[in-house]
Amino acid sequence: APAEVGLAYGLISLICGPAGVFAGGWVSDRLWKNGRTDATLRTAMYGALALLPFAVIAPFMPTGGLAIALAVPITFLFAFPFGVAAAAIQLVATPAIRAQVTAIYLFFGTLIGLGAGPTVVALVTQQVFVADDQLRYAVALVAGVVIPLAALAFRSGLAPLRRMVGTDAAH
C-alpha cells in the first residue's frame, strides 16, 4: 500500500541518506590519508560505479519488498558523493569565491537533478517506450546512461583536481 511504501522509503531515506554522506566522507578521508589528492572526486566516482547495478535492476524487482530492499543501497550510494563534492569545491576555490561557487554548484545540481531528472524519465517513457506502463524500462535506461556519464565526469576531473590541489594541500 502507498502508506507502507512511504513509511518504508521515508525511514530508508532518513537513515541511508545521511549514512551515505558520512561514508563518502570517510572513504575520501582514507584515500586522502593514503596520498590521493583526488580523493573527493575519486570517492564520488566509486559511489557512482557501485550505484549503477542497483539502480538498473531495481525497476525490475518482482515484488515491492525486493524493490524497497534495493532502495537501501541505492539511497546510500546516491548520497555518497554529496559531501565530497562540496569538499572538492572547498579544495579548489579561493576563500573569496567559495560561497559563490558552492551556491552555483547547489543551484545547478538541484536544477538538473530535481528538474531534468524526472523530466528525462518521463520523456523516455513516452517517446522511446511509447507507453506509461513501460516506466520501469525508462528508469533503468536513464540510470544505465546517466550514472556511467556521472562516473566519467568524475573521472575526467581527477587529473585537474590533482594539479589544482597539489601535494601540499591541507585537507
DSSP of 80-134 = HHHHHHHHHHHHHS-TTTHHHHHHHHHHHHHIIIIIIHHHHHHHHHHHTS-SGGG
pTM metric for this prediction: 0.87
Each of the 171 residues of the chain gets a pLDDT tens digit; together they read: 778 889 999 999 999 999 999 999 999 999 999 999 999 999 999 999 999 999 999 999 999 899 999 999 999 999 999 889 889 988 888 889 999 999 998 898 888 888 888 899 999 999 999 988 899 999 999 999 999 999 999 999 999 999 988 754 444
Distance separating alpha carbons of residues 62 and 59, to the nearest angstrom: 9
Give the CA radius of gyration of the chain.
Answer: 18
Cell of 81: 558523493
